[in-house]
Amino acid sequence: MSKEVKIVFQPSGRIVHALPGTIILEAAALAGFIIHTPCGGTGKCGKCIVRLRSGNCPPTEPEIAVLGKTRIAEGFRLACMARITDPVTIEVPDSSLFQTHQQILTTDTGDRLEVRPRVRKTVIQIPPPFSHEILSDIERLRAVGVSAPLTLPALRALPHALRSPDSRLTVVQVDNDVIALEPGDTSASCYGIAFDIGSTTLVGTLVDLMTGKDVAVAARVNPQTSFGDDVITRIQKCRSEKNGLAQLQSSVLEGVNRIIDELERNARVSRLSVYEVVFAGNTTMQQILCGIDPSALGELPFAPAFRDALEFTAADLPLHVHPCAKVYVFPQIGGFVGGDTTAGIVATRLDRVTAPTLLVDIGTNGEIVLKHGERMLATSVAAGPAFEGARITNGMRATSGAIEKVIIDGDVSLNVIGNAKPAGLCGTGLIDVAAELLRVGILDETGRILPPDECPAGLSPALLARLVEDKEETHFLLVPKKDSATGEPILLYQRDIRELQLANAAIRAGINILLKMAGVDASELGAILLAGGFGNFIRRNHARRIGMLPPIPCDKIRFVGNTSSFGAKRVLLSTQEKDYTSRVVRQVQHVDLSLDPEFQLEFSTAMLFPNEG
């Protein structure tokens, strides 16, 4: 194994370790920074500028061409080109970052994040209580121009707020309701939370509704995973157990509320200053979160309970925010294509692109949207949890100890998350090793790991020594037991490749069906937008090599970040975005693959790895 080198990012001070040869773009992603690459990471647009603050990093030809020798000498580099060789400190300017997520908008340019929230705070000067006529508290409020109806909690706060020694009070209005009254001037504290509710991961972003800025982000594993990895097992639980839905709902609610607690703690913001919460998730997740039985999603015709956005009150769940806070749940497209896909379309403005474009969110459930002409076609495929490291013998999630990158040359080089000893293989590592084994010829197109005597000539003895024969099958040794964290060897088993093939084929078959329906050839695609936490860490050439994505140039494959979170944030920040969301979701046609006889055929074909030999 090559030795990893230490990379320090400024101004945050975050530290990661990566293999020599890693491009800065990927090292930054490891550190949690998504850098903007409008040209698709081809070193042409010069948008992904970073600056070396210490250490050495030899410039490449495209960098010198784009930046000029002077700026190169000053330490400027392009994150998509420059490769780590030695320990370095790198400054990432805000302008190159996804900090406000604005940069994920690869599909249209110049689009700004609109801040026009439904929550408004108004500070009122309280008139003296006594006059010739005795007014009730509400009448005194009306007298200073507050005419909207009060919720019961707002009315409960009124007597105290009116008698605040400050002689001012703050009216919190959402749409046409006064939901809170606060003593004094609290206009600076006005927050919302945008949630991405994934089958596996929950992500909450606390947003300042006045400025539109992110204040804190927190993520947790969805506690529902203890009841099963994918949505099907959870639907089954609702169908078969009397308290199944209640259990699953309280489980995800607990996760959501813990995230809220964490956001409150980290940002030092009172939960009572959170007045709106927006949720985006797939249909099953959204329905369970709301306590709406998803059983009908487990049988033909896979009908969701609702299509348009839902709105209700935080106390209805309840959430650990202001009890009258508004809750918005994203509109659903149909079947398993839910609010997260809607949010993805909203985040990327997919409806406005001109060339045929795919939006692909790879997760336990894969969602695919094809924009072509005036139409959008959307479908979902059950990729299974292989990309999350589940059902892989030595698989694990992309956390500390996970092998997230594999390079095969004369031997195997690994990159492990968190500078730890390797403990297992996460999704990106799995794709890497499959793609690399395909390239060197150890894996054939049917997905069989070849025994040493069938391998192509010229493989190094070191590689051949890693092939472990076991009855009819062959496995591949990634880490011998002396180097592993667990003291056990880490192997890629033949059956792990089968799991990967299933996940891979599901996504590719989904893509192929949509392309066929629209009459679009892969070569006509203007772009493939890869969304979701996992999508952002895939090596594009490898995803293409194993056939998950159609054979298009790598620069047309673009990472667009967590579009579910970002779409939710857009809607949280603006009533116009809510209107836009309602409109755009009606332009999407849901394609139910379970009813499509061609899907099985496409799926079988896609089980084979592409033959690029």
Q: Interface with a second copy by CB under 8 A: which residues?
A: 129-130, 134-140, 151-152, 155-156, 158-160, 163, 290-293, 295-296, 300-308, 310, 312, 315-316, 332, 334-335, 590, 592
Instruction: Decide: residue 571, CB within 10 A, 0-12 exposed, 13-18 middle, 19+ buried.
Output: buried
Of 330 and 609, which CB lies nearer to a second copy in the complex structure? 330
Minimum distance from residue 242 beta carbon to a second copy (Å): 13
Ramachandran angles phi, psi of 491, nearest 5° = -120, 150
Helices (H), 178-280: 231-240, 244-267
Of 172, 187, 120, the closest CA to residue 141 belongs to: 172
Minimum distance from residue 113 beta carbon to a second copy (Å): 29
Minimum distance from residue 292 beta carbon to a second copy (Å): 5
Report the 3 state secondary structure along 47-99.
Answer: CCEEEEEECCCCCCHHHHHHHHHHHHHCCEEECCCCECCCCEEEECCHHHECC
Give CA 286 to chain center in angstroms: 16
Minimum distance from residue 319 beta carbon to a second copy (Å): 13
Tokens 């927050």 sit at which residue?
Answer: 191
Sequence-separated (6 or more) residues with CB below 8 Å from residue 503: 383, 384, 386, 387
Of 140 and 558, which CB lies nearer to a second copy in the complex structure? 140
- Sheet with 5-10, strands from edge to edge, namely 14-18, 5-10, 88-91, 49-54, 76-78
Report the 3 state secondary structure along 236-257.
Answer: HHHHHCCCHHHHHHHHHHHHHH
Of 312 and 454, which CB lies nearer to a second copy in the complex structure? 312
Of 179 and 403, which CB lies nearer to a second copy in the complex structure? 179
Of 32 and 127, which CB lies nearer to a second copy in the complex structure? 127
Minimum distance from residue 307 beta carbon to a second copy (Å): 4
Of 312 and 462, which CB lies nearer to a second copy in the complex structure? 312
Q: Reply yes or no: is the peptide bond before residue 301 cis, omega within 30 of 0.
A: yes
Of 48 and 327, which CB lies nearer to a second copy in the complex structure? 327
Of 355 and 595, which CB lies nearer to a second copy in the complex structure? 595
- Sheet with 119-125, strands from edge to edge, namely 119-125, 168-174, 177-183
Of 379 and 394, which CB lies nearer to a second copy in the complex structure? 379
Q: Coil, strand, or helix at residue 267?
A: helix
Minimum distance from residue 327 beta carbon to a second copy (Å): 9
Minimum distance from residue 160 beta carbon to a second copy (Å): 6
Of 156 and 265, which CB lies nearer to a second copy in the complex structure? 156
Minimum distance from residue 311 beta carbon to a second copy (Å): 9
* Measured distance CA(549)–CA(358) in Å, rounded: 10
Minimum distance from residue 592 beta carbon to a second copy (Å): 7
Q: What is the DSSP letter of 292?
A: -
Minimum distance from residue 229 beta carbon to a second copy (Å): 24
- Sheet with 424-425, strands from edge to edge, namely 412-416, 402-408, 424-425
Q: What angle do CA 424, 429, 435 make, to 5 degrees?
A: 135
Of 237 and 590, which CB lies nearer to a second copy in the complex structure? 590
Report the 3 state secondary structure along 447-502.
Answer: CCECCHHHCCCCCCHHHHCCEEEECCEEEEEEECHHHCCCCCCEEECHHHHHHHHH
Of 202 and 290, which CB lies nearer to a second copy in the complex structure? 290
Run of H or E residues at 111:
none
**Residues 132/177, Cβ–Cβ less than 8 Å:** no
Tokens 């500078």 sit at which residue?
Answer: 419
Of 137 and 483, which CB lies nearer to a second copy in the complex structure? 137
* Measured distance CA(133)–CA(449) in Å, rounded: 90
Minimum distance from residue 320 beta carbon to a second copy (Å): 18
* Measured distance CA(317)–CA(288) in Å, rounded: 11
Of 311 and 612, which CB lies nearer to a second copy in the complex structure? 311
Minimum distance from residue 162 beta carbon to a second copy (Å): 8
Minimum distance from residue 224 beta carbon to a second copy (Å): 18
Q: 370 - beta bridge partners?
A: 358, 377
Minimum distance from residue 94 beta carbon to a second copy (Å): 40
Of 34 and 158, which CB lies nearer to a second copy in the complex structure? 158
Q: Convert 135-163 to b/e letters by CB count within 10 Å (16 or more is b).
A: eebeebbeeeebebebbebbeebbeebbe
Residue 220 in tokens: 């947790």
Minimum distance from residue 254 beta carbon to a second copy (Å): 19
Residue 263 in tokens: 């956001």
